[in-house]
Amino acid sequence: MTRREKILAGALGSVVVVVLVLLLVKKAYLDPLDKWRDQRISWSNSQKKLQRKNARTVGRASDLRGLAARTFDNDELRASAKLAATLLELVERAGLSPEKLSVQPVRGSQVKNVYRELGRVIRVRGKLDNIIDFLYLLDAEPHLHRLDQLTITPVLKANEVDLQVRYVTPVIDLKDGKIPTDKIAASMPAGLLDSPGRKLFKTIAARDLLRPYIKRPAVPTPPPATVATRQARPSRPTPTPASPSSRYKVVGLPDWSDSQEVLVSDSVSRQVRSYKPGDTLGGGTIAMVDYRPMPSRANPLILSPCRVILKVGPEYFAVELGEELTDKRRMSSDKLPEQIHPPTPSVPTENADENAAADPEENPPAADSVKKTAPAER
C-alpha cells in the first residue's frame, strides 16, 4: 500500500468515526431533549386548557347556584308540592275562586344529569279583570318558569272568560346537595297588583278583543229639502242665492260690435259654453257685461278689466273674468253701470243756488255733481 492510499484510508476512517460519534450523541442526548421539549409544550397546553376549564366550571357553578336558588326544589316531589301551593296562592290573590281551578300535571323536556321540567296545565274561570291579575301574577312569579299555550275563551251569557295556560319550571339535578334552592323570597319578592308592571296588562281589557262583532248602524240620510222646508227657514237680512257648482268658471267676456258674450268653462266635461245677456246663469239672469276698469277684489291695487253682472231677484251680483260662479259678489247700487242703474235727473229751479245755500239738508247736491264724484269714491 502506498503512502497516498494510507492517507486516504486514514481520512475515510476518521469521517466514519466522526459520523458514528454524532449518531451516538444524537441518540443519547439530542433525541431525548427534543422529546422532553415536546412533552413540556404539551403539558403547558394541557395546563392552560385545564385552567380555562376550571375557570368556566367556577363560573358555571356560580350561575348554577343562582339558578338553583330560583327553583322550587331539587327533589321532584317537594318541588311539585310547592308548585301546587304557589298556584293556589296566586289564584286567591287574583280574586278567583279555587273551586273553578283545575290543575293537571305535565312533564316537559329533560336532559339527563342536568335538569328536567315539571309543569302544570292550569284552567280557571272568572271575570276578565281577575284573569288579567292572575296572568300578571304568573308572569311576575320569581321562580324560574315558562308560560306557553295560553288561550282565553269567553263564556257566553256569563260575562266571564276561561283561561288555559301551561306553567313549566325546571328541577335541577344537583350532585352537590349542599347547593341551596328556593332562596328568592328576600331577593325577588312576588309581584304586586298595584305595581307599575300591572298597568301594562290593562291593554288586554282596554282592547276589548273578546267582544262579539256588532255591525255599525247605518247613518241615516237626511231627506232632501223641500220648498216648504226652505220657506220655513228663518230669513236673513241679506239672503245669498244658492251658488252653482264650483265646476263653472268664467273664461271669456268678448265684446262684439252688436252683442256681448259670456264664455263659461265646465271643469268636469271640459267644455266651454257661450251665454248672452238675458240667458240664465249662476242661479240668476245675465244682465250685461261690464267693461269698466275697477279695482280687483283679490288685490285693490290691480284693475279688473271686465266682469259679468247677474241679476238674482232684485239684486245684482258680479263675477270677474277668471273667477268661478261661486265667487260672485253683490254689487251696491252706486257701483252699478248706468245701463242698469241710471242716475236720477235733477230739475233746475230759479232759486236753486239760493235754496242750496240757505238749507243744504233740504236741497241735496245735484245729480251731475254726484256723477262727477262717483269715480273718485270708487
**Mean pLDDT, rounded, for 59-67:** 69
Residues of the chain with CATH 3.30.70.60: 76-207
Low-confidence winner among 17-21, 101-105, 154-158, 212-216 (lowest mean pLDDT) = 212-216
**55 pLDDT exceeds 80?**
no
How many CB atoms are closer than 10 A to CB 255?
10
**373 pLDDT exceeds 90?**
no
Range 12-37 burial, b when 16+ CB lie within 10 A, else e: eeeeeeeeeeeeeeeeeeeeeeeeee
Question: How would residue 184 be classed by pLDDT, with cut points 50, 70 and 90?
Answer: low
Q: Which tens digits make up the pLDDT trace of 5-33?
A: 778 888 888 888 888 888 888 888 888 88
Q: What is the pLDDT of residue 61?
A: 62
Low-confidence winner among 127-136, 154-163, 207-216, 221-230 (lowest mean pLDDT) = 221-230
- Cα distance between residue 349 and residue 64, in whole Å: 125
Q: What is the pLDDT of residue 122?
A: 92
Q: Which residue has the higher pLDDT, 352 or 298?
A: 298
- Cα distance between residue 281 and residue 240, in whole Å: 15
pLDDT over 70, % of the chain: 75
**Mean pLDDT, rounded, for 136-164:** 87
Specify the CATH number of the domain 76-207. 3.30.70.60
**Cα-based angle 262, 264, 270 (whole degrees, multiple of 5):** 150
Cell of 78: 317537594
Q: Which residue has the higher pLDDT, 265 or 238?
A: 265
Question: For 276, which DSSP code?
Answer: -
Q: Which tens digits make up the pLDDT trace of 197-246?
A: 787 887 777 766 666 666 777 777 776 655 555 555 555 544 444 444 46
The pTM score is 0.42
Q: What is the pLDDT of residue 350?
A: 46
Work out the burial of residue 220: count CB atoms within 10 Å of its CB; fewer than 13 is exposed, 13-18 middle, 19 or more buried: exposed
**355 pLDDT exceeds 50?**
no
The chain-wide mean pLDDT, for the chain, equals: 77
Question: How would residue 62 be classed by pLDDT, with cut points 50, 70 and 90?
Answer: low
**Mean pLDDT, rounded, for 331-335:** 85
**189 pLDDT exceeds 70?**
no
Question: How would residue 368 be classed by pLDDT, with cut points 50, 70 and 90?
Answer: very low
- Transcribe 129-144 into DSSP letters: HHHHHHHHHHHH--SS
CA dihedral 318, 319, 321, 322 (to 10 degrees): 160
Q: Give long-range contacts, CB 8 A cutoff, 24+ apart: 145-151.
A: 145/169, 149/121
Q: What is the pLDDT of residue 366?
A: 42
**Mean pLDDT, rounded, for 306-310:** 90
Q: What is the pLDDT of residue 357?
A: 43
Q: What is the pLDDT of residue 121?
A: 93
Work out the burial of residue 285: count CB atoms within 10 Å of its CB; fewer than 13 is exposed, 13-18 middle, 19 or more buried: middle
**183 pLDDT exceeds 80?**
no
pLDDT over 90, % of the chain: 5
Cell of 290: 261690464
Question: How would residue 362 be classed by pLDDT, with cut points 50, 70 and 90?
Answer: very low
Cell of 267: 271643469
C-alpha distances in angstroms, 8 versus 4, 14, 19, 21, 189? 6, 10, 17, 20, 99
Q: Are 295 and 302 in contact (CB under 8 A)?
A: yes
Low-confidence winner among 5-9, 247-251, 348-352, 372-376 (lowest mean pLDDT) = 372-376
323 Cβ partners below 8 Å, 6+ apart? 249, 250
Q: What is the pLDDT of residue 365?
A: 44
Q: Are 308 and 253 in contact (CB under 8 A)?
A: yes
Q: Which tens digits make up the pLDDT trace of 268-293?
A: 888 888 999 989 888 889 998 888 88
Cell of 143: 321562580
